[in-house]
């Protein structure tokens, strides 16, 4: 459309994981966000938080396990298990 101005909704450093989720990786933390802003974050070395965030994101349908595996590499094999545990205890 002529005259339409498009504004970027995610920071340049964000990696898109799905159409509904992106992540900004800093040396200290992972910041998960959508177009409206940050949703949640965790320290890079916080294993429990990574498992929790993986389960929440998958349960809400924001991303699939293979998308999350890009940033949750050591925990990518257990993402499906964590998702099932999260649902069972909800």
Residues in the chain: 90
Residue 39's Cα: distance from chain center in Å?
A: 9
Helices (H), the chain: 47-59, 65-68, 79-88
The SS3 assignment for 18 reads strand
**How do residues 13-22 score in pLDDT, each as one tens digit?**
999 998 889 9
The whole-number pLDDT of residue 21 equals 92
The first and second tokens of residue 78, run together, are 């257990």
Q: Which sequence spans correspond to the domains of the chain?
A: 15-88
pTM over 0.85: no
The whole-number pLDDT of residue 35 equals 83
Residue stretches of the chain with pLDDT short of 70? 1-8, 73-90
């Amino acid at each position: 459309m002529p005259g339409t101005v498009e504004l970027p909704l995610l920071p340049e450093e964000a990696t898109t994981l799905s159409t509904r989720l992106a992540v900004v990786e800093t040396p200290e933390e992972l910041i998960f966000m959508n177009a409206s802003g940050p949703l949640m974050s965790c320290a890079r070395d916080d294993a429990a938080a990574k498992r929790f965030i993986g389960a929440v994101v998958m349960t809400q349908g924001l991303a699939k396990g293979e998308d999350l595996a890009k940033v949750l590499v050591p925990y990518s094999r257990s993402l499906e298990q964590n998702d099932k545990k999260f649902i069972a205890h909800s």
